[in-house]
């Protein structure tokens, strides 16, 4: 199969080709970076509260139970569209109250049901989290997820 190829030629193809694909890859991510900042996400709306919400999200590593835009763990519901699931598009106030109340009543302690811990979040932290979910729900994800179940 590779009888015709010399060792040195194979080596040069490896280094040259890899460099080429590396440059293409980096160029495309640079463009994607620009696209994210200018088109697919709401850069202007990325305010203090949304940032704080992301920090709270990370502080408690919610990602190790939940998925967010399909990435993370598979133990608990997808949260990239939790805003839609709680009706945030039609009634933002009710959605906010609903998500906050849901987090507050955890853990349910129901036997045989997966548990989410109580993180002792303050009202301000909960609001920031909801702002973060709301901001995330508006990322242009090319139509993913297929439905509200996430």
**Which positions from 53 through 112 interact with other proteins, judged by CB under 8 A?**
54, 57-65, 67-78, 107, 111-112
How many whole angstroms separate alpha carbon 30 and alpha carbon 35?
9
Span from 13-21, 35-43, 59-67, 134-142 in contact with ligand HEC (CB under 6 A)? 59-67
Annotate 19-69 with DSSP letters as a single string. Answer: HHHHHHHHHHHHHHHHHIIIIIS-STT--HHHHHHHHHHHHTTGGGTSEET
Paired tokens of 79: 């949260």
142 φ/ψ sector (left φ>0, alpha ψ -120 to 50, else beta): left
- Interface positions, 14-43, toward ligand HEC (CB under 6 A): none
| Contact flag: residue 32 with other proteins (CB under 8 A) | yes
User: Which residue is associated with the tokens 């990322």?
Assistant: 139
Q: Does residue 69 belong to the site contacting ligand HEC (CB under 6 A)?
A: no
**Closer residue to ligand HEC (CB): 50 or 79:** 79
Q: What residue ranges bind ligand HEC (CB under 6 A)?
A: 57, 60, 62, 65-66, 75-77, 79, 82, 85, 99, 102-103, 108, 113-114, 116-117, 119, 129
């Amino acid at each position: 199969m590779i009888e015709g190829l010399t060792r040195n030629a194979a080596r040069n193809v490896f280094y040259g080709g890899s460099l080429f694909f590396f440059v293409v890859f980096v160029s495309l991510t640079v463009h994607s970076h620009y696209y994210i900042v200018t088109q697919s996400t709401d850069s202007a709306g990325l305010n203090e509260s949304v940032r704080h919400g992301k920090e709270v999200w990370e502080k408690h590593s919610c990602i190790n139970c939940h998925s967010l835009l399909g990435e993370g763990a598979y133990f608990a519901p997808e949260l990239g569209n939790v805003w839609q699931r709680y009706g945030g598009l039609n009634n933002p106030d009710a959605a906010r109250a609903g998500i906050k109340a849901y987090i507050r009543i955890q853990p349910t302690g129901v036997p045989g049901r997966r548990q989410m811990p109580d993180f002792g979040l303050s009202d301000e932290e909960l609001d920031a989290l909801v702002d973060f979910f709301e901001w995330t729900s508006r990322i242009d994800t090319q139509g993913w997820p297929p439905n509200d179940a996430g």
